[in-house]
Copies of this chain bind each other. A is one copy, B any other.
Amino acid sequence: MKRTISALARNEPGVLAKMATEFSRYAANILSLAAGETENPQVSRIVACIEGDNAALDEISRYLEGLETIIQVDDLSRKDFVDRELVLVKVVMDPERTAQLMQVFEVFRASVVGMGQETITVEMAGDQERVEGLIHMLKPYGIKSMCRSGMIALKRGDE
């Protein structure tokens, strides 16, 4: 089972260490994690995509909710969230296939952010499906390096 949870945490030392330790205590694998500032400088948002058995994932959510430093925990699988991820991909640029490659970038609205002698680096933001789609399309060209931000999300609507 995979689950993506979003936690609002007070900026206190060791919050992330506590969370990550708890994940590994329950043998839950962290697939991605993004921790960053929110609209409130005293509060951070940590979005983690974790994999493990269902009971363990439930335990983890309950544990997090019980922590003094955690203000709120949301399960992003509930689908009332706008989820986005950022990816940077450095792909091999073969002169004979450049036009094709550019077409892939256009379809996925990926923007070129860097260029070398033999490679081109693009960025794309989208939901996980689109990010996976781009990576899948670029693989045959040769992916030299890649960096994904992990999912971030906000509730849909005004709330």
Contact = CB atoms under 8 A, between A and B. Distances in A.
A33 interface: yes
B35 A154 contact: no
The interface size bin for chain A is 35 or more
Nearest to A117: B158
The count of identical subunits is: 2
A158 to B, nearest CB: 4
Interface string A16-28: 1101110110010
Tell me the dominant secondary structure on chain A's binding face: strand
Interface of A: 6, 11, 13-14, 16-17, 19-21, 23-24, 27, 29-39, 45, 47, 82, 84-86, 88, 90, 113-114, 116-119, 121, 123, 125, 143-150, 152-159
